[in-house]
Amino acid sequence: MKTLKLRDAETRLSDVIDDALAGEPSLITRDGRPEAVVVSVEVWEQLNRAATFGALLGSFPDGTGEFVIRDDRPARSTEL
């Protein structure tokens, strides 16, 4: 990933966009701090469609499917 100062990114915006379309994102910094990443729309849409952890948990079957119900018993004896 390329890192560019905001001022450089402004003057080279066309190149930054061409790089993003070619699959190379650019990290834009302001005052030395990362502020934004430029990626292609295709990459952004893929990231936007990625399942959230909550959605992943919500998609699990209710126990009637192929998943095994968890056994909450201790794996070993706690008696000495």
Is the pTM above the cut of 0.75? no
Average pLDDT over the chain, rounded to an integer:
84
CA dist 30 and 7 (Å) reads 8
**Which domains are assigned to the chain?**
1-41 (3.40.1620.10)
Confidence category of residue 17, pLDDT binned at 50, 70, 90: very high
Confidence category of residue 73, pLDDT binned at 50, 70, 90: confident
End-to-end CA distance of the chain: give it in Å, rounded. Answer: 56
DSSP code at position 16: H
37's tokens: 């990443």
pLDDT digits (tens, 9 = 90+) for 18-56: 999 999 999 999 999 999 999 999 999 888 876 777 776
Residue 13: strand, helix, or coil: helix
Write down the pLDDT at residue 66.
Answer: 55
Q: Where are the alpha helices (DSSP H) in the chain?
A: 6-11, 13-21, 41-49, 53-58
